[in-house]
């Protein structure tokens, strides 16, 4: 007699298969990994009595569904229609968020990540939406790949995570994502890869549950100012006192940040302005100094090649030169400074999406 498998059984197999796979967790449209996890034990018990052929058939079916989920990015996520507890999906979101924070206090295992969707009913902003969803704005920003907290028009589709955390894009697409990825290269906190369908294609992220924006990331997102001066790179030395990398054991003030990047990487103007110096320094090697409005200046050092001239007007994102190791340097990197009336400021407090 043909056996009919319940959603409990399918949920159990799906959970077992997904946990066995080494690929990023696929948070597919319409799935609820938290609900699946709660069904695992019941599903396994139900399958235990099934014929071997039936179990094989069910496994093949589920594997096909998993692969379909891997390839498809068009599936719909459970949709929140109203930001009120009467909405069953919204109520489920509230329960999951509360469960997460309770698990942090108790030390219990946190709930699994699920993804919902919400379409704005009227013009709003990220902070108002964040409050209505009981989620940190940085969770919504990193998942939806937002570059600033500007207004959200009516009809804007937003992905909503069931638990708070930071989504680090595997392939950054904007300045904020490059900064977030750069600063979290050595983060040893709990994290795992996920694949999420968005805008007609899959997005791959490293998810850090419970994590929040670092101070520099928050400034970058909230303060309109200076853009990240490289398309990619790792911050290898911060602003302030440090052991001199050349002399060793000698503490010196470092008036900028060093961003390690491959030789020849393009260097961008962090803000529009005018090139007032473009030449050689015994310390910075090939360097460029740009003045901006309101008494700001930016300096770019250790270039392998300068691509602008003194007196030239540049715009945010224009290429100034290429990364190198000229002057006093231990390897290819960009030395980047931001100055206010000639006084060095910490760039990580001022970097932000271009105005």
DSSP string, 289-313: EEE-GGGEEEEEEEEEEE---TT-E
70 has pLDDT over 50:
no
Whole-model pTM?
A: 0.55
Judge if 206 and 254 occupy the same domain. Answer: no
71 has pLDDT over 60:
no
Element (H, E) at 285: strand 285-291
Judge if 234 and 331 occupy the same domain. Answer: yes
295 has pLDDT over 70:
yes
Write out the residue range of the structural domain in which residue 173 sits. Answer: 79-220
Q: Is residue 34 part of a domain?
A: yes
> What number of CA atoms fall less than 13 Å from residue 201's CA on the CB side?
2
Judge if 65 and 92 occupy the same domain. Answer: no
Q: How far apart are CA 154 and CA 118, in angstroms?
A: 11
Q: Is residue 354 part of a domain?
A: no
- Residue 82 has phi, psi (to 5 degrees) of -135, 140
Judge if 266 and 335 occupy the same domain. Answer: yes
Judge if 340 and 237 occupy the same domain. Answer: yes
Query: According to the 3-state scheme, what is the secondary structure of 65-91?
Result: HHHHHHHCCCCCCCEECCCCCCCHHHH
Q: Which alpha helices (DSSP H) does 223-283 contain, by range?
A: none
| Last residue within a domain, chosen from 199, 220, 241 | 220
- The helix/strand/coil state of 128 is helix
Element (H, E) at 18: helix 7-20
285 has pLDDT over 60:
yes
Q: Which alpha helices (DSSP H) does 151-222 contain, by range?
A: 175-183, 215-222
CATH number, residue 302: 2.70.70.10
Q: What local confidence, expressed as pLDDT, does residue 144 receive?
A: 95
| Last residue within a domain, chosen from 71, 94, 113 | 71
Please state, in angstroms and as integers, the Cα–Cα distance from residue 38 to each residue in 45, 112, 196, 245, following that order: 13, 10, 21, 53
Judge if 85 and 149 occupy the same domain. Answer: yes
Q: What is the pLDDT of residues 315-324, one digit of tens each?
A: 877 899 999 9
**Which two three-digit tokens encode residue 198?**
């968005």
Q: How many domains does the chain have?
A: 3
Q: What local confidence, expressed as pLDDT, does residue 112 receive?
A: 92
Judged by average pLDDT, the poorest of 2-6, 23-27, 142-146, 332-336 is 2-6
Judge if 211 and 230 occupy the same domain. Answer: no
Judge if 197 and 286 occupy the same domain. Answer: no
């Amino acid at each position: 007699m043909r056996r009919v498998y319940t959603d409990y059984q399918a949920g159990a197999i799906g959970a077992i298969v997904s946990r066995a796979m080494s690929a990023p967790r696929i948070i597919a449209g319409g799935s609820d990994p938290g609900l699946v996890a709660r069904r695992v034990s019941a599903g396994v018990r139900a399958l235990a009595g099934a014929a071997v052929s039936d179990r094989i058939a069910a496994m093949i079916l589920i594997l096909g569904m998993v692969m379909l989920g891997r390839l498809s990015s068009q599936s719909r996520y459970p949709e929140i229609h109203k930001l009120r507890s009467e909405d069953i999906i919204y109520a489920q979101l509230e329960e999951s968020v509360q469960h997460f924070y309770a698990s942090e206090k108790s030390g219990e295992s946190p709930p699994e990540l699920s993804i919902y969707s919400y379409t704005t009913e009227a013009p709003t902003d990220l902070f108002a939406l964040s409050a209505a969803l009981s989620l940190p704005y940085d969770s919504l920003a990193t998942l939806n790949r937002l570059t600033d907290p500007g207004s959200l028009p009516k009809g804007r589709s937003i992905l909503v995570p069931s638990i708070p955390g930071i989504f680090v894009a595997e392939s950054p697409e904007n300045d904020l994502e490059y900064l977030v990825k750069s600063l979290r290269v050595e983060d040893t906190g709990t994290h795992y890869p996920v694949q999420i369908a968005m805008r007609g294609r899959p997005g791959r992220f490293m998810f850090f549950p419970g994590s929040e924006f670092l101070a520099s990331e928050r400034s970058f997102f909230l303060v309109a100012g200076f853009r990240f001066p490289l398309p990619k790179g790792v911050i290898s030395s911060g602003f302030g006192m440090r052991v001199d990398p050349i002399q060793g054991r000698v503490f010196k003030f470092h008036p900028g940040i060093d961003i390690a990047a491959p030789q020849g990487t393009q260097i961008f103007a962090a803000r529009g302005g005018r090139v007032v110096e473009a030449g050689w320094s015994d310390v910075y090697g090939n360097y460029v100094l740009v003045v901006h409005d309101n008494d700001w200046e930016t300096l770019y050092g250790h270039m392998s090649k300068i691509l602008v001239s003194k007196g030239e007007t540049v715009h945010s994102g224009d290429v100034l030169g290429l990364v190198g190791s000229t002057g006093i340097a231990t390897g290819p990197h960009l030395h980047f400074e931001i100055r206010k009336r000639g006084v060095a400021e910490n760039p990580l407090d001022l970097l932000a999406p271009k105005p």
